[in-house]
Amino acid sequence: MGMLEAILITIATAATPLLIAAIGELVVERSGVLNLGVEGMMVMGAVTGFGVALISGSPWLGFLAAILVGALFSLLFAFLTLTLVTNQVATGLALTLLGLGVSGMLGESFVGLPGVKLGSIYIPVLTDLPLVGKFLFGQDPIFYLSLLLTGSVGYFLFRTRAGLTLRSVGDNHASAHALGINVILIRYLAVMFGGACAGLAGGYLSIVYTPQWVENMTAGRGWIALALVVFASWRPWRVLAGAYLFGAVTIGQLHAQALGIGVPSQLLSSLPYLATVVVLVLISGNRRLTMVNTPASLGRPFVPDR
């Protein structure tokens, strides 16, 4: 029972940064923008969050700094792609490379230092329940924030007029512009929201998941978050399911290595990424499902009439 409870908790911890980053990118793509710089924004959030938390002694200040730096990095991407109309794919890749390089430079002095960890919530009686107590009522606050964020984004996109406006921009930016909608402003706000989420996800890695700084500690999680959006067919609750599926794969391979299963550890470590490739291949086979849910203007530049 104790082992099962520990596995459930670690799955939730592994899934939380994927969920936060993917939810942010889902909003970005629903607006018609493809930002491949999630990895770069996450790693910048990780190093900034760790450094500020270490210097200030407050993990909450670390999270705030991670959110701000993620939003600022996304603002750079938005300026280049929405104002200067550069290629979104190339700009996103450049943002990832920039983030990896800058984070390595900024975090050089942080390597090997113990971080400031955000503690878990304790609710008398409820947290002490067998099996599900710590999993449901004894997690860190960001875990509950990620669930609230998922529900809020789902409600916003499909139950509010503002969400309908954002989706209309992603589906047909020319028609939205003709109706008087400020396409560029909406996309700027969506991109900044996605960047803030990516920064928060990165801060979670260095403050909660492993409270330390290691260069390139995101280890491809930003790319998995991008794949999760496609896996979920741009639906928030499917992103939630996908994040926990990939979290289970990640934790499963760690336990398999600990049990000494006769499989090379390198192969086990690659399982989350192999699972990503397999899922994308399976989804691409259902072209009708992909075409129905894909924002029609995704990745297409927009220049308003002058």
Tokens of 20: 């936060």
Distance CA 284, CA 267 (A): 25
Q: What is the dihedral angle through the alpha carbons of 264, 269, 273, 278, rounded to the nearest 10 degrees?
A: 40
Classify residue 156: in a domain, yes or no.
yes
pLDDT at 1: 60
Classify residue 154: in a domain, yes or no.
yes
What distance lies between CA 160 and its chain's CA centroid?
Answer: 23
Q: Which one is predicted more confidently, 288 or 247?
A: 247
Classify residue 298: in a domain, yes or no.
no
Percent of the chain whose predicted confidence (pLDDT) is above 90: 66
Looking at every residue in the chain, the average pLDDT score rounds to 90
Distance CA 33, CA 121 (A): 37
Query: Domain containing 12 — which CATH number?
Result: 1.10.3470
Question: CA-based angle 21:27:28, to the nearest 5?
Answer: 85
Classify residue 132: in a domain, yes or no.
yes
Classify residue 302: in a domain, yes or no.
no
Classify residue 80: in a domain, yes or no.
yes
Distance CA 76, CA 98 (A): 11
The pLDDT tens digits of the residues spanning 45-89 come to 999 999 999 999 999 999 999 999 999 999 999 999 999 999 999
Classify residue 228: in a domain, yes or no.
yes
pLDDT tops 80 at residue 91: yes
Of 220-229, 235-244, 281-290, give the lowest mean pLDDT range. Answer: 281-290
Distance CA 115, CA 51 (A): 8
Distance CA 162, CA 156 (A): 7
Mean pLDDT of 138-167: 96
How does DSSP assign 202-213, residue by residue?
Answer: HHHIIIIISSS-
Tokens of 277: 């490739």
Distance CA 158, CA 163 (A): 6
pLDDT at 32: 95
Distance CA 111, CA 120 (A): 25
Write b or e for each residue in 248-285: b if 16 or more Cβ atoms lie within 10 A of its Cβ, otherwise e.
bbbbbbbeeeeeeeeeeeeebeebbbebbeebeeebee
Mean pLDDT of 11-35: 96
Mean pLDDT of 145-154: 96
Q: In total, how many domains does the chain have?
A: 1
Classify residue 265: in a domain, yes or no.
yes
Q: Which domain holds residue 143?
A: 2-293
